[in-house]
Amino acid sequence: MKLTVERPFADPEAAARKLVEIAKSIDAVQDGRIYIEKINAPFLYTLKATGPEFGAGISHAVERAWLELHESGTYVRLLSGPQ
């Protein structure tokens, strides 16, 4: 008997790819900035992901140099996407 449901974004790679996809769909403001809430809200509320999945996805995207996260945590910039 299976007691838990598989989480599509439990894998940081999958979460990072989805976050980059969301970020690409948003018009950037000054200097290519994309405010974090613009990618946070669709990921958490529309896709029903969790906060830890969001954090792991952002961290993975930064490690892979797909996104640049500002030290304040208020915005990201697209660097390159997943290949």
Q: Rg of the chain over CA atoms, in angstroms?
A: 13
3 belongs to a structural domain = no
Domain residue limits at 48: 12-78
In total, how many domains does the chain have? 1
**CA atoms of 79 and 64, how far apart (whole Å):** 10
**CA atoms of 74 and 24, how far apart (whole Å):** 17
1 belongs to a structural domain = no
Q: What is the DSSP code string of 22-54?
A: HHHTS--BGGGBEEHHHHHHIIIIIS---HHHH
33 belongs to a structural domain = yes
Here the CATH number for the domain that contains residue 49 is 1.10.10
36 belongs to a structural domain = yes
16 belongs to a structural domain = yes
74 belongs to a structural domain = yes
Which pTM was predicted? Answer: 0.89
pLDDT digits (tens, 9 = 90+) for 10-53: 999 999 999 999 999 999 998 999 999 999 999 999 999 999 99
5 belongs to a structural domain = no
